[in-house]
Amino acid sequence: IVKAGTREDPVWKFRNHTQGPLAIKVWLEEAENVVSYPELPNNFVLGAGATRELVTIGAFNSRKSWSYQLRSEALPGDPGARHRPTQAYRPPFAPNQAFVVGQAFGGSFSHSKPDSHYAVDIGMPVGTPIHAAREGIVMDVARWFSGAGTNIEYDGPRANYVRMLHDDGSMAVYAHLDYEGVIVLPGQRVRRGQQIGRSGNTGFSTGPHLHFAIQLNRNMKLVSVPFEFAGPDGQTLTPERGLRLKVSE
C-alpha cells in the first residue's frame, strides 16, 4: 500500500509487485464517521505490475472528526480463473531422464492442506535441470534461500520457487529449487519444455526433490487442483506414489 494525498484528503494506492493478477481484500477497522467508495470490505484484482487507487475514503460528516485503520491482504491469482489445460502436463525435467514420484495427491507428510493437496513431490538430485511443464509467464520467483528443515513455520517460507501463470489463469508452482537455482525472470514468457531452473533442497524439506502443483485463487485462499502428466508413449498419467515419470522427446 502506498499512501498519498493529504491528511484531510488521503489517497491509498495499491501496488502489485508480481507479473500476474493479484487479488486484494480491503477492509476497515476502528472506523468512526467514515464512508468509503466502493463500500468496504471489498475484493479487487490488480493487474500485473500495476499501481492504482482501489478505494476512496472520507468523512461521512465533514464537520466531525473521523478516523480509521485500513487493512488489506493480497494473494496471487485471479479468483475468476478456471483450470482448463489443452493437454496433459509435461514432466518438469529434461528429455530422456526419469524420476519417481515420492509423494502424490493427498500425501500424508505434507500434502494435507488445500494449497498442496494435489501437489506432487518428485525425488531428484540437487542441480537437476527443471523444465516448464506448460507454457506461461513467470509471475514471481524466489532464488536466494539456502538450507532446509522440518520446522514448517520457519522453513516453510524459505523455499526457492518459480510461480508460472498459464493462459487460463491457473498457476504452476515449482518449489524447493536450489540456491540461485532460478534462471528465468518475472514477466518472461516461457515455452513448454524450456529450462527454468535447477532442483534443490530448500525450505520445508527432508531431502532433495521438486514440489510441483497447479493452483487457483479461491475466496482469497490458494487451492491446488488435480492434473495429469503426459506419458512417454502419448498416454496420460494420474500422479501417484511410486509412479516413474519420463520425458522421451
Show which residues are catalytic.
209
Q: Phi/psi of residue 152, each to 5°?
A: -60, -35
Q: What's the first-to-final CA gap in the chain, in angstroms?
A: 46
The C-alpha torsion from 5 through 10 and 12 to 13, rounded to 10°, is -20
CA distances from 25 to 12, 37, 63, 94, 211 (A): 14, 14, 30, 40, 28
Q: How many CA atoms lie within 13 A of 118 on its CB side?
A: 15
Nearest residue to 231 via CA among 249, 213, 215, 214 = 249
d(CA 37, CA 6): 18
Cell triple for residue 29?
A: 477497522
d(CA 55, CA 72): 12
d(CA 143, CA 183): 9
